[in-house]
């Protein structure tokens, strides 16, 4: 039997994986303990692959939850900031005030605040405004979001009492007004599923104008977070696939007291939950003890601020989500043709039309035209195994690489990777 190397010696032999020495020591110990130290190199490579790293999203899913949803490009210098300092008074300030005023202007709200995700926003609003009270929700809106989290369970944690009204497919104003002693009406946007056929719903305007609900807070969980239905940050008209998608500004204009939405969906920012609407209600949420438990850090607030400023300046191209969404198919076609030309037409790679989808629990039945690359057969695994993984999709036994969700700066890398994959001898 061959005597295994020392842990330190084996760990030092793995330095080419560019991992910290303590991690390499763990890998070396595990390999020796398994009696197969020759597998240490493979184990170190697998360990590095488990770490967060950039990937190329070729799936055509704009908001791919597994890939981090909306891509965010924010540069933050390693300096201090006035996170909780009032520069006007020199006294302690509010991290919510710092970003909230700018965000409120973009939403068309009196005030706004940021928490760490939309589920936190629901929890905080319920706890601050309806703990011990009754909250009416239509039965067709008792949604479950990713990871098995359900609206009734989130509400239960807040201390509010759920009052189910209407039926799964039909809800009338009387279903709400007949409910006694309500502290809140919660409308939940069915952003990740559709109910069609024999249906009926109650609009925000109707609920806001109902005399019986005058003293009842009207809260709308939009989830997907389209900021404005008119998309003024884009040069042209709103994308056709956004038709009927409710938006924050219009929901507030319709009479909602508060609107809750995600930062990393159609808002196009980092993971966050945003609460916007009446100043007194936002401030009440900010004073609740849970507000500190779910508050975001400075990096998230900085990213939210940069994204919000892009909206206010109508710089849609500075928001990666909207730049990708608004790219004309002709531009994508030209890029695909160029990649095929670089890789070579004899390797089975062709330029081909395809369809993109919003993803991320938004617009579940919607797709829209795109263009990309097509390969006969399943190349998903070898593409994912590249040094910088390329995440593609399979359709009808063909590998599809949708260029809508690929940054043009990555086209060169993609062409080289495909050349290496399809014809290794062609790569010097």
Tens of pLDDT, residue by residue over 172-191, are 999 999 998 999 999 998 87
- Do 56-70+327-426 and 95-318 agree at the fold level? no
pLDDT at 332: 98
On whether the CB atoms of residues 260 and 273 are closer than 8 A, the answer is: yes
Q: Which segments of 189-225 are extended strands (E)?
A: 217-223
State the pTM of this model: 0.92
pLDDT at 246: 93
pLDDT at 126: 94
CATH 3.90.1150.180 is right for the domain spanning 56-70+327-426: yes
Phi and psi, residue 330, nearest 5°: -60, -40
Domain ranges of the chain: 56-70+327-426, 95-318
For the chain, residues with pLDDT lower than 50 are 427-428
d(C-alpha 223, C-alpha 245), whole Å: 11
CATH 3.40.640.10 is right for the domain spanning 95-318: yes
Q: How many CA atoms lie within 13 A of 314 on its CB side?
A: 7
DSSP per-residue string spanning 218-280:
EEEEEES-B--TT-TTSSSSPPGGGTT--BHHHHHHTT-SEEEEESSSTT-SSS-EEEEE-HH
pLDDT at 279: 97
pLDDT at 350: 95
């Amino acid at each position: 039997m061959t005597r295994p190397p020392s842990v330190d010696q084996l760990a030092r032999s793995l330095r080419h994986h560019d991992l910290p020495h303590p991690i390499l020591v763990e890998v070396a110990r595990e390999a020796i303990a398994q009696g197969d130290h020759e597998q240490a190199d493979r184990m170190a490579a697998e360990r590095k692959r488990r770490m967060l790293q950039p990937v190329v999203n070729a799936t055509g899913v704009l908001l791919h939850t597994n890939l981090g949803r909306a891509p965010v490009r924010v540069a933050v210098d390693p300096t201090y900031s006035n996170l909780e300092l009032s520069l006007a008074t020199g006294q302690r300030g509010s991290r919510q005030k710092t970003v909230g005023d700018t965000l409120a202007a973009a939403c068309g709200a009196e005030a706004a605040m940021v928490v760490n995700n939309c589920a936190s926003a629901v929890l905080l609003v319920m706890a601050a405004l309806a703990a011990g009270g009754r909250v009416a929700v239509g039965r067709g809106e008792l949604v479950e979001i990713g990871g098995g989290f359900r609206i009734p369970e989130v509400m239960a944690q807040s201390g509010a009492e759920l009052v189910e009204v209407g039926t799964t497919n039909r809800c009338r104003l009387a279903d709400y007004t007949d409910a006694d002693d309500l502290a809140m009406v919660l409308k939940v946007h069915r952003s990740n599923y559709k109910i069609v056929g024999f249906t009926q719903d109650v609009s925000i305007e109707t609920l806001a104008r109902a005399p019986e609900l005058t003293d009842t807070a009207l809260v709308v969980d939009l989830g997907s977070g389209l900021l404005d239905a008119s998309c003024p940050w884009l040069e042209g008209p709103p994308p056709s696939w956004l038709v009927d998608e409710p938006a924050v500004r219009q929901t507030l204009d319709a009479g909602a007291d508060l609107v809750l939405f995600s930062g990393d969906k159609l808002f196009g920012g980092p993971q966050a939950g945003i609460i916007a609407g009446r100043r007194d209600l936002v401030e009440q949420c900010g004073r609740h003890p849970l507000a500190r438990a779910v508050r975001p850090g400075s990096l998230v607030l900085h990213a939210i601020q940069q994204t919000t400023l892009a909206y206010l300046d109508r710089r849609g191209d500075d928001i990666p989500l909207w730049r990708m969404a608004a790219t004309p198919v002709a531009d994508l076609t030209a890029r695909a043709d160029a990649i095929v030309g670089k890789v070579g037409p004899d390797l089975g790679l062709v330029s081909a039309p395809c369809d993109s989808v919003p993803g991320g629990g938004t617009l579940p039945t919607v797709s829209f035209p795109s263009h990309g690359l097509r390969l006969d057969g399943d190349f998903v695994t070898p593409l994912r195994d590249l040094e910088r993984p390329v995440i593609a999709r399979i359709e009808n036994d063909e590998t599809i690489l949708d260029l809508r969700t690929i940054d043009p700066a990555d086209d060169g890398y993609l062409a080289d990777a495909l050349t290496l994959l399809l014809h290794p001898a062609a790569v010097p």
